[in-house]
Amino acid sequence: MKDKPSKKIGKAPREAARKDTPMLAASSAVGSPITLKSILVPVDFSECSEKALLYARGFAKQFGARIVLLHVVELSYSYADMAIFDYSSLEKDLRQGAETRLRSLAKGVEKDGTPTTVEIRLGRPARAVAEIAKELATDLIVISTHGYTGLKHALLGSNAETIVRHAPCPVLVVRPQEHEFLKE
CATH number at residue 162: 3.40.50.620
User: Taking Cα atoms as reference points, which of 95, 43, 32, 98 lies closest to residue 65?
Assistant: 32
Residue 150: the pLDDT is 47
**2 found inside a domain:** no
**92 found inside a domain:** yes
**30 found inside a domain:** no
Measured distance CA(50)–CA(40) in Å, rounded = 13
**7 found inside a domain:** no
Per the prediction, the chain carries an average pLDDT of 77
For 32-36, 68-72, 84-88, 124-128, which range has the lowest pLDDT when averaged over its residues? 84-88
Please provide residue 162's backbone torsions phi and psi, each rounded to the nearest 5 degrees: -65, -40
**179 found inside a domain:** no
User: Taking Cα atoms as reference points, which of 149, 135, 144 lies closest to residue 172?
Assistant: 144
Residue 111: the pLDDT is 92
Q: Exposed, middle or buried: residue 81 (CB in 10 Å: 0-12, 13-18, 19+)?
A: exposed
**19 found inside a domain:** no
Q: What confidence tens digit (pLDDT) does each residue in 70-110 have?
A: 999 887 655 455 556 666 777 788 888 889 999 999 999 99
- State the residue range of the domain holding 137: 41-174
Q: Is the pLDDT of residue 138 over 90?
A: yes
Report the predicted TM-score, pTM, of the whole model to 2 decimal places: 0.73
One-letter amino acid identity for 158? S
**118 found inside a domain:** yes
Average pLDDT over residues 20-44: 70
What's the total number of domains in the chain? 1
Q: Do residues 68 and 136 touch, judged by C-beta distance below 8 A?
A: yes
**4 found inside a domain:** no
User: Taking Cα atoms as reference points, which of 92, 104, 106 lies closest to residue 41?
Assistant: 106
**CA-to-CA dists, residue 82 to 42, 62, 77, 78, 79, angstroms:** 32, 52, 10, 9, 5
Reported confidence tier of residue 177, pLDDT bands at 50, 70, 90:
confident
Q: Is the pLDDT of residue 143 over 80?
A: yes
